[in-house]
Amino acid sequence: MAHDDDHGDHDNGHGSELSEMQLRVRALETVLAEKGYIDPAALDVMIEAYETRIGPHNGARVVAKAWTDPAFKRALLEDATKAVQSLGLINRVGDHLIAVENTPKLHNMIVCTLCSCYPWEVLGLPPVWYKSAPYRSRAVNDPRGVLADFGLRLPADTQIRVWDSTAETRFMVLPMRPAGTDGWSEERLAVLVTRDSMVGTGLPKNPAGAA
Ligand code: FE
């Protein structure tokens, strides 16, 4: 099965000089633009989208809506690709998104054991740890240990299920709605939804500590 090949070079220094990777990207972009293969303006639009519009705030909106709208929650669990598209969030062509629901008895977490496949349309770009070899291997062998490293200790009788993403199939976790949020608006609930709670390595924020 094909996987994303997006193992970027994150090891940039703090100097003003361009890194080796940045120089290569710039050279490649120049050549491709000169030959007419790419439109620099279109690239700018894509980069701007990743910097501003695409991020975990989209997933937080999806989760908060599922918490307050039973019909949307059903639609999300049935076909997450379609449900997030109904909110105007667009998947890459061919991508299939699956939402998995946490319950008191079942905790879900997502990983890509081969590389770094990630549901970017709802979560944005993956954090560095998601792409790290220790997370990718230990998430499967020792999920409870990984969760403990994240400060998350689940009851011993809560089952943990690990979902392995691929280039075609991505997962997002629908965390449990925190107690003490009765009557909260979607907007207020969305603030509680952390990125890690949608990867399964964390829980939503405590409503007592949220404004
Ligand atoms: Fe992958």
β-bridge pairing 159-164 and 169-174: unpaired
Q: Is 117 a catalytic residue?
A: yes
Looking at the chain, the whole-number percentage of residues with pLDDT higher than 70 is 91
Q: How far is the CA of 4 from the centre of ligand 1 (A)?
A: 5
Separation of CA 155 and ligand 1 centre (Å): 30
Which residue spans within 123-201 are E strands per DSSP? 159-164, 169-174
The pLDDT value recorded for residue 121 is 87
Residues 6+ apart with CB under 8 A from 2: 166, 167, 168
Question: Is 115 a known active-site residue?
Answer: yes
Which of 2, 28, 128 shows the shortest CA–CA distance to 20? 28
Specify the pLDDT at position 2: 53
Q: Is 132 annotated as catalytic?
A: no
Q: How confident is the model at residue 37 (pLDDT cuts 50, 70, 90)?
A: confident
Question: For the chain, what percentages of helix, strand and coil (3-state, to nearest 5) are there?
Answer: 45, 10, 45
Each residue's pLDDT tens digit, 101-133: 999 999 999 999 998 899 988 999 899 999 999
What's the N-to-C CA distance of the chain in angstroms? Answer: 44
Residue 181: per-residue pLDDT: 97
What is the predicted pLDDT for the residue at 3?
61
pLDDT of residue 39: 86
Question: Which residues, in sequence order, are CB contacts of 36 under 8 Å at separation 6+?
Answer: none
Query: What's the gap in Å between 162 CA and the centre of ligand 1?
Result: 14
Expressed as residue numbers, the domain containing 62 is: 2-209
- Is the pLDDT confidence value at 171 over 50? yes
DSSP state of 207: G
For residue 23, give the 3-state DSSP assignment. Answer: helix
d(CA 167, ligand 1 centre) in Å = 6
Read off the amino acid at residue 69: D
- CATH number, domain of 48, equals 3.90.330.10
* Catalytic, out of 112, 132, 137, 185: 112
Using the structure block, give the residue that is written with the tokens 């937080």. 60
The values of phi and psi at residue 191, to 5°, are -65, -25
Ramachandran angles phi, psi of 157, nearest 5°: -90, 5
pLDDT of the residue at 13 = 47
Percent of the chain with pLDDT over 90: 64
Question: How many folded domains does the chain comprise?
Answer: 1
Residues 130 and 4: their CA atoms lie apart, in Å, by 13
Q: Which of the pair, 209 or 166, is modelled with greater confidence?
A: 166
pLDDT band (50, 70, 90) for residue 15: low
- Identified catalytic residue from 115, 137, 185, 197: 115
Distance 145 CA to ligand 1 centre (A): 22
> What's the confidence (pLDDT) of residue 9?
45
| Closest-CA residue to 123 (of 166, 67, 186, 60) | 60
User: In the predicted model, is pLDDT for residue 80 greater than 80?
Assistant: yes
Structure confidence at residue 54 (pLDDT): 85
Averaged pLDDT of the chain: 89
Q: How confident is the model at residue 68 (pLDDT cuts 50, 70, 90)?
A: very high
